[in-house]
Amino acid sequence: MYGETSVQGSKNSILPILAATVLIRGQTVITNCPRITDVDATLKILRHLGCVVTREGNTVTVDSTDVNKYDIPEDLMREMRSSVMFLGAIIGRTGKASLSTPGGCEIGLRPIDLHLDAIQRFGVNIREEFAKIEFEAMKPLEGVNIALSFPSVGATENIILTACTAKGTTVITNAAREPEISDLADFLNSCGARISGTGEGTVVIEGVKELHPVQYRVIPDRIVAATYMAAAAMTHGKVRLTNVIPSHIAPVIPVFEEAGCDISISQGSITLTAPPCLRSIKTIRTMPYPGFPTDMQAQIMAMTTLCHGTSVIIETIFESRYKHVSELLRFGAKIRVDGRMAVIEGVGSLTAAKVIASDLRGGAALVLAGLAAQGTTTVENIKYILRGYENMSGVLTSLGCDIMKEERNTADGGKENS
């Protein structure tokens, strides 16, 4: 892989920012919005709530003046479990909400107890019955102090969205510190909110009466950037990524350097040059930001299958985020999983295989393995990859890779991508 590409806008920024538009009466314009299916699902929910939504390329306009609903239908909740991040915005806007319980997903149970405990502290009554959860603020929302037992990204975002227009001050201790949370806060502050401390672990929100519409550009996607860096490392290539924020990728850079890659950084771009032979990584432990991101675990595991020596990965965030292992073994990789730990013995080369994606980042890891393998690999079920990567096959082709996206007819007369 050789060449240069610009990195798409961040999936994990755009989703909570689009949810936040529910709080804003008027027409909000968001630019650098990636064209991914999770955004499609989010726009469907906004339209269901009564927002007027238009999209031109990477620009989305949302007018939430006439929001007239507070429920998220089950089919939309199932389509994207992170729809739970609408909770805070809908309650902040309407004082109530009705969600179907977001099922688990391919990487774990993904409970929402931290979200519910926090929302309840704002004086919101929560009623769980069968597959529905009903929320109702029994009085005007008032700021509270919340200590998260785990720095949950989604719970931190939901608390911020609930607290923005609540009366008084909300303090979140042990808040998640991911850059996407700072991006959400920057967006909301540009709309007139008063949020401080994001990225430091304690976030303070002074409630304001109302928020006004703005035009806002979301940050680049740090996980997509690191994914393409891993692809270059695995194919002994060199890639220059523009439109990145290098500090957001800092947690992953030492891993690429330990593998023998050369990384050079300039203000808005990062270049990775792969070594002739990758070296193994002693131990990678996924942690909340600024630790090593769990969303890069699968892609780095794919890289370590080709690293000379033994690498160890410990997945501390999700309890079943190793579904890509069985598929990587089909390429001839040598991986042993014991609970949260994976031990990878590097092999000289991978052999092309027919594999099936079962989640977003695991699917991306299979594409990376296919790029490095000898022969032609087929990855099925790439609908998972389309959730978070804008035009992955087009980007990789522009970087000299031999890859194409195929649309096939399914037995029931539908279409599927592979």
Question: Between residues 229 and 373, which has the closer beta carbon with respect to ligand EPZ?
Answer: 229
Single-letter amino acid, residue 311: S
Q: Spell out the residues 6+ positions from residue 323 whose beta carbon is closer than 8 angstroms to its own.
A: 106, 107, 358, 359, 362
The answer to whether residues 8 and 405 touch, using CB atoms and an 8 Å cutoff, is no
287: Cα separation from own chain's centroid: 15
Question: Between residues 226 and 233, which has the closer beta carbon with respect to ligand EPZ?
Answer: 226
Question: Between residues 155 and 241, which has the closer beta carbon with respect to ligand EPZ?
Answer: 155
Minimum CB separation of residue 156 from ligand EPZ in Å reads 8
Minimum CB separation of residue 345 from ligand EPZ in Å reads 26
- CA terminus-to-terminus distance, the chain: 21
Question: Between residues 19 and 274, which has the closer beta carbon with respect to ligand EPZ?
Answer: 19
d(CA 68, CA 211): 18
Mutual angle of helices 153-163 and 86-94, in 10-degree steps:
10
Single-letter amino acid, residue 35: R
Residue nearest to ligand EPZ according to CB distances in the complex: 154
Active centre residues (catalytic): 105
d(CA 62, CA 212): 12
CA–CA distances in Å: residue 226 to residues 70, 214, 295: 37, 30, 10
Question: Between residues 63 and 359, which has the closer beta carbon with respect to ligand EPZ?
Answer: 359
Minimum CB separation of residue 263 from ligand EPZ in Å reads 23
DSSP-derived secondary structure for 355-367? EE--SHHHHHHHH
Pairing outcome for strands 96-100 and 132-137: antiparallel
d(CA 166, CA 121): 12
Question: Between residues 115 and 240, which has the closer beta carbon with respect to ligand EPZ?
Answer: 115
Binding site for ligand EPZ (CB under 6 A): 11-12, 15, 82, 108, 110-115, 150, 152-155, 176, 294-295, 317-318, 360-361, 388
Residue 257 token pair: 């350097």
Strand locations in 288-376 (E): 310-314, 334-338, 341-345, 354-356
CA–CA distances in Å: residue 281 to residues 194, 258, 318: 42, 6, 21
Rounded to 5°, angle at Cα 108 from 104 and 111: 55
Residue 126 token pair: 């929560």
The answer to whether residues 322 and 293 touch, using CB atoms and an 8 Å cutoff, is no
